[in-house]
Amino acid sequence: MDEDAAADAWPERIADEEALEEVLSRPHAALRADLAAVPGDLLVLGAGGKMGPTLCRLAKRADPARRVIAVARFSEPGLRERMESWGVECLAADLMDRAALAALPEAPNVVFMAARKFGSTGNEPLTWAMNVLLPAMVAERFAATARIVFFSTGNVLPLVPVGSGGADEGVAPAPVGDYAASCLGRERVFQHAAAARGTRCAGIRLNYAIDLRYGVLHDVAVKVRDGVPVPLAMGHANVIWQGDANAWALRALRHASPACPILNVTGPETVSIRWLAERFGDRLGRAPVFEGVEAPDALLSNAARAFRCFGYPRVPLLRMVDWVADWVARGGRTLGKPTKFEVRDGRF
């Protein structure tokens, strides 16, 4: 079996977190090829969150000779040591500290992942500082030296009819609430840097990443397992395996330009939450309990443009469903960070 075939030989189940992080960080030929087109060090800002550690490991596995530098507060015990064991260099820094930001090493490739979502309601000033002021500082700091890929969210887009196929990048943003509005502010700041200074940027509007320890699938599966009603008002969603989302973010470095392209990043299906709950019910031996009825619209993104750039996700939906059901049935660890996919009023 060649290397790429082996990379796509997904296991029937994922035994533990060590195995999970190995699967999440499996590189593929297309990623190696796109990274080869953007040589030089990679600096990952805000690397300590849900996706950052495996994005760094994925980059290092795809190009072992490349210097991968992760910047975060590293408040989670053991995270820094684990990442360093993967060959990732780790720098502890508060990115909101201008002196700390200025002291970061130069790098021709930057992935910006720092953001605030949960707890936005009730502490709106900090949300805006993290989601708008910090990106402005980063765009200024790396204006002339780097390609910058930054993460955004599909929450900047309006709810659209379930049968529409999702909002594509041509749909005008219509954020609801401080979190979504501040994320649109992040996009506008990088777009301004690209237009005003020629900074090479690209944005990733993510909707929703799936890991076995968090995500829409995890949230629904836990509710089914525990007999908690599954809310149906936001009755449909898009999802993508976290490893695929991270690979596309790294590959987007090749597309960074002063035009600052924005790409919707998600899976191809408009996934019914009711259908998901029923699938988990089959696997967990529990009849799901539902609450409410499906609205005619939902937060849905059309990722056709990303598929044209990167192909389709490597991990299919039912594979993710099987993995999550097995993980939840065994009481696998959760990150305790619900997606709040059911929220329709923008209050996170």
Cα(329)–Cα(338) distance, integer angstroms: 18
The per-residue pLDDT for 5 is 61
Strands 230-231 and 290-291: parallel
- Residue 89: strand, helix, or coil: strand
Q: What percent of the residues of the chain are helix, what percent strand, and what percent coil, each to the nearest 5?
A: 40, 15, 40
Predicted TM-score of the model (pTM)? 0.96
pLDDT tens for each residue of 143-180: 878 999 999 999 999 999 999 999 999 999 999 999 99
The per-residue pLDDT for 2 is 54
pLDDT tens for each residue of 199-209: 999 999 999 99
pLDDT of 4 above 70: no
Cα(2)–Cα(336) distance, integer angstroms: 38
The per-residue pLDDT for 3 is 57
Residue 267 amino acid letter:
G
The per-residue pLDDT for 165 is 96
Q: Does domain 3-211+239-269+299-313 have CATH number 1.10.1380.10?
A: no
In this prediction, residue 319 has a pLDDT band, given cuts at 50, 70 and 90, of very high
